[in-house]
Every structure is written in C-alpha cells, then in structure tokens.
Amino acid sequence: MGRLDSKVAVITGAASGIGLATAMRFAGEGAAVVLGDLNEEGGAAAVRQCKENGGRAVFQKCNVEAEGDIKALIERAVKEYGKLDIIYNNAGVGGALGSIEETSIEHWDKTQSVLLRAVFLGMKYAVPEMKKSGGGSIISTASVAGLRGGAGPHSYTAAKTAVIGLTRSVALEVGEFKIRVNCICPGGINTPMLANRFGGQQSAEVFLTQLQAIRRAGHPEDIANMALFLASDESQWITGTAMVVDGGMTAGGAPPAPQQAGQSTGAANEYYGPSFEYKA
C-alpha cells in the first residue's frame, strides 16, 4: 500500500525542481496528481514520469498569478478524480532583485503575486473542496528566507515571511474541518531556478555545499520527502507549522552574502522569472 492511496493532489510549479520531485513522490505513493505549471513541455514530461512511477497524473497549464487559472486547476482535480485531498502551493520565482532603493513597484508586486497571492488563492479555492471531502492537507513552499534576513532578495523574503504567517492564521480557521495547513522552509536546494542563476547545476552544487552543517547541497527530493509526510495521514496532528528542511543552515552561522543569495548589491532593477525561460 502507498502512503497516499486514494488521495487526490494538486501541485503548482510541478514541471521542474521541487514540484516535479514531489509529483513523482506523490504518484509513486498512490496519489492521483494534477500538475499545474506555465511550462507545457516540462508539464507533459512530468506526467510521463509520474505514470512511469506507477501513478495517475494530468497536466494543466496554470499561471498562478491568474485567479481563474488556480480555480480551474482545482476544478480539474475534482472533475478528473472526484475530490481534492491535498494542495501543494509550490510555484515560485526569484522575483525582484537589486537594492531596495532601485526595486521597481512593478517587480515588487509581481513577486508578491507569484509567491504570496497565489498561495492565498490556492488556499481559498482548496478549502471548500476539502470541507466536502471531510478534511485535507494544504502545503505551501515558504523558505528559510522567511526566518532570517539575508537569505533571499527583499521582495522574496517579504513574501516567504508572509506565507509562514498566512499558514498559521488559516490553520486556526480550518482546523475544525480536519484541514491541516503547513508550509515548508527549504534551505539551499539545487533546483533549475537556482542553478540558472549560478551558471549551472554543478556550480550551484559546489556553492550550496558550504552553507550548512550537513555538507551537501539540498535536492528537490529532500523537500518532496517532507511534503509527502505532510500530505499523508502520518501528519494528522500537525498544523500551523513551518517545517524547516535546510541541512542545518538556520541553526547558526552567517547567512549567504546578498549577491550569493541572488540579491544584487548594486542598483540593478532586475526580475528573475520562471526557470524554464532561462538557459544555464
């Protein structure tokens, strides 16, 4: 038996990185998975990998900045598989980069839209369906940047801090309906998004090895393992938490320098979007 047998899950940002690793993990443990992403080619490949891992999966193009797309993604899960048990609000970007004085309002707002507003929308539309199912698990990707300064760019850090707060407040509202709400705070994970910023996967691996007590880079599978636990019935009495998966990064020591964390120390007004739009 799988740990997610008969459960139905929605995952955003599922075409690569943490989302893909989690989709494959969920599918392998018996879940039917609806994969949302802007990357159609990557999404189709992710569906194939989930099916090869023994699970059921469908892809739907989803821009998490669009309320209608998130609503449609959840509706697809109910239409395709009859219910919703799990949502993983995972889609992410590096977002606005640069100094605070030169960060544009446009880039700030766009970052907040992807990293925070989309989490709110995922919760908003998942809760009614989970109430119908008699409960469920809402998971969101936060970050160690939400726990300490210097671990991410300004708008990214603000959004991830807010995801932790939103997780706690919504958990208090929906606990009586047996809906659990938790977030995961990854440390340095070697995903395509980060690898593209550091000149390739190997360069990112070397850099990330130095950041924490456990001297290796984090990998998407490390986060997928925590997501699986939070999605499963093993976490029935866990809600309102920010689960840190960082190899010991936040246990002590200095955070990475701003430029290493993707936060330019100059006045550059940049925006770093979805990883599939960039070449390493």
Give the H/E segment covering residue 36.
strand 32-37
Q: Where are the domains of the chain?
A: 8-188+219-249
Catalytic residues: 156
β-pair type (270-272, 95-97):
antiparallel
State pLDDT tens for residues 21-71. Answer: 999 999 999 999 999 999 999 999 999 999 998 899 999 999 999 999 999
Are 25 and 4 within 8 A, CB to CB? no
Enumerate residues 6+ apart whose C-beta is below 8 A from 112: 155, 158, 159
Residue 279 pLDDT exceeds 60: no
The candidate with the shortest Cα–Cα distance to 256, out of 185, 177, 160, 150, is: 150
Average pLDDT over residues 68-89: 98
What pLDDT does 264 receive? 45
Q: Look up the pTM and report it.
A: 0.92
Residue 253 pLDDT exceeds 80: no
Q: Which option is the CATH number for 8-188+219-249: 3.40.1410.10, 3.40.50.970, 3.40.50.720, 3.40.1350.10?
A: 3.40.50.720
Are 164 and 157 within 8 A, CB to CB? no
